[in-house]
Amino acid sequence: MCKDCGCSIQDHDHTHQEGHSALHSNPQLNDAKTVEVITKILAKNAHEAGHNRAHFDAHKVLAINLMSAPGSGKTALLEKMAESGAFTFGVIEGDLETSLDAERIRAKGIPAFQIQTGSACHLDAFMVHKGLHEMPLDDLEVCFIENVGNLVCPASYDVGAHLNIVLVSVPEGSDKIEKYPVMFAKADLILITKTDLLPYFEYDIDHEKAQARRIKPNVDILAFSTKDEQSIQNVISWIKFKKSMRS
Amino acid sequence: MHEYSIVQALLEQCESHAQEYKATRITRVILKIGKLSGVEPYLLQSAFDAFKEGGICREALLQMELQNLVLHCEACGEDSEQSEICYQCKQCQSTQVRAVDGEEMFLMRLEME
Ligand SMILES: Nc1nc2c(ncn2[C@@H]2O[C@H](COP(=O)(O)OP(=O)(O)OP(=O)(O)O)[C@@H](O)[C@H]2O)c(=O)[nH]1
Ligand SMILES: [Mg+2]
Ligand SMILES: [Zn+2]
Ligand SMILES: [Zn+2]
């Protein structure tokens, strides 16, 4: 039984040895000492992320973390997924302020829970854990976690998703992947969004693809526009394929 | 500025290690910062200086060692250290790799009295 929340997930990867140190036999210090401790600084978050993944696994739900700069089209993508009716899903929304995004999702008949992070510029595994207990997981095939719009901070936090989709939109300019390599290195799928705007911007889509593959030669990349039905279908196919590989 | 939340987690760990060793103060904190951890050492330093006040680390020096990405290749079995951010085996060009170092931040050692 999960001691943090009382939910029925067995506690799993307790890597106790990670947090313990070399001087176990004699923890009394008499004078200055150097001790090896070797602990992940975000060990608590990592543990909670594992717990979240175990929740999703127990319900056979594929969890996908959506990350991008503010306004790249994360919520717009989710609205299109809702309209397609291609699979059942819920959304855990993270924003500094407001419940606007959760309201947009609920307006499409999709369960959504809003987390307001206040001053935190990212979601962490503890916030997502709160959200996932509000999701009707038994009825869902996929759970999206829409992270706070930010191309830096969310990359440091495992939230317990199985996959990361990182979005970057045409108006942001085609230098974002080289400027934010840590975020794009986390991506299982990079979505280049708002491609309907390509005629109005000097945007070199091939350059961006090449930059992405310099970092991660096998990363999946799709172009996406809310105005291009085929591009919506391509994202749906990618998600359904990933889901089928985990059933 | 997630460096603030990271420093808070770090200081909690320092407090609990100090308790375990019955130390009264920590004089040096040694970290390993992965180049792909998404953390800016400079910002971590200033967050540490701001938050250490009044706690067990009040007089502690923060020492950070930067860690390159290290990959284990599932195809050829070799480990390779990458000087650039690139998820591809240097020996055999396979992309069947997993990171074994360089993605995380570790508290490595503490000096305390
Ligand atoms: N032309 C065009 N506009 C788009 C597209 N996708 C999103 N937008 C517009 O871009 C703006 C931001 O979209 P959102 O979906 O709210 O972006 P977001 O990533 O959820 O933003 P935050 O949650 O605030 O980080 C809205 O005005 C959308 O209508 C697209 O494919 N084409
Ligand atoms: Mg949004
Ligand atoms: Zn739980
Ligand atoms: Zn190899």
Judge contact between A187 and A68, C-beta under 8 A: no
Ligand nearest to the CA of A135: 3
Residue A157 covered by a domain: yes
Residue A179 covered by a domain: yes
Distance in angstroms (rounded) separating the CA atoms of residues A239 and A237: 5
Whether residue B10 and residue A41 make contact (CB cut-off 8 A), yes or no, is: yes
Compute the distance from residue B28 Cα to the ligand 2 centre, in Å: 42
The pLDDT of residue A4 is 53
Please give the share of chain A, as a percent, with pLDDT higher than 90: 84
Residue A15 covered by a domain: no
Number of domains in chain B: 1
Residue B26: CATH number of its domain: 3.30.2320.80
Residue A68: CATH number of its domain: 3.40.50.300
Mean pLDDT of chain A: 91
The pLDDT of residue A28 is 54
The arrangement of strands across the sheet holding A163-169 comes to A112-116, A89-95, A142-146, A62-67, A163-169, A189-193, A220-224
Residue A24 has pLDDT above 70, yes or no: no
Residue A50 covered by a domain: no
| Structural domain for B104, as ranges | 3-112
Residue A18 has pLDDT above 80, yes or no: no
The pLDDT of residue B2 is 87
Closest CA to A117 of A144, A145, A147: A147
Band of residue A6 on the pLDDT scale cut at 50, 70, 90: low
| Structural domain for A178, as ranges | 60-246
The pLDDT of residue A31 is 62
The pLDDT of residue A19 is 44
Chain-centroid distance, C-alpha A80: 18
Does A171 sit in the ligand 1 pocket, CB within 6 Å? no
Compute the distance from residue A194 Cα to the ligand 3 centre, in Å: 37
Distance from the Cα of A186 to chain B's closest Cα (Å) equals 9
A109 in the Ramachandran plot: left (φ > 0), alpha (ψ -120 to 50) or beta? Answer: left
Query: Could you report the predicted ipTM of this complex, rounded to two decimals?
Result: 0.92
Query: CB neighbours of A14 closer than 8 A, spacing ≥ 6?
Result: A47
Distance in angstroms (rounded) separating the CA atoms of residues B38 and B9: 16
Structure pTM? 0.92
Residue A169 has pLDDT above 70, yes or no: yes
Please give the share of chain A, as a percent, with pLDDT higher than 70: 87
- Give every residue of chain B whose pLDDT is below 50, as ranges: none
Number of domains in chain A: 1
Residue A27 has pLDDT above 70, yes or no: no
- Chain A residues with CB under 8 Å of B107 CB are 37-41
Region A210-227: mean pLDDT is: 97
In this complex, the residue of B2, B20, B109 whose CB is nearest that of residue A156 is B2
Band of residue A247 on the pLDDT scale cut at 50, 70, 90: confident
Please check whether residue B111 touches A, CB under 8 A. yes
The pLDDT of residue A13 is 47
Please give the share of chain B, as a percent, with pLDDT higher than 90: 96
Residue A99 covered by a domain: yes
- Chain B residues with CB under 8 Å of A214 CB are 86
Residues with CB under 5 Å of ion ligand 4 are B 73, 75-76, 89, 91-92, 94
Compute the distance from residue A74 Cα to the ligand 2 centre, in Å: 5
Residue A12 has pLDDT above 90, yes or no: no
Region A122-131: mean pLDDT is: 96
The pLDDT of residue A16 is 39
Band of residue A234 on the pLDDT scale cut at 50, 70, 90: very high
Phi/psi at A40 (nearest 5 deg)? -60, 130
User: Which numbered atom of ligand 1 lies nearest the CA of A228?
Assistant: 31
Does A80 sit in the ligand 1 pocket, CB within 6 Å? no
DSSP assignment of chain A, as one string?
--TTT--SPPP----HHHH--TTTT-----S-EEEEEEEETTHHHHHHHHHHHHHHHHTTPEEEEEE-STTSSHHHHHHHHHHHTSS-EEEEEEESS-SHHHHHHHTTT--EEEEE-TT-SS--HHHHHHHHTTS-GGG-SEEEEE--S-SSGGGG---S-SEEEEEEEGGG-TTHHHHSHHHHHT-SEEEEE-GGGGGGS---HHHHHHHHHHH-TT-EEEEE-TT-HHHHHHHHHHHHHHHHTT-
Q: State the DSSP H helix or E strand holding residue B79, giving kind and residue range, or none if neither.
A: strand B79-82
Which residues are A145's β-sheet partners?
A65, A92
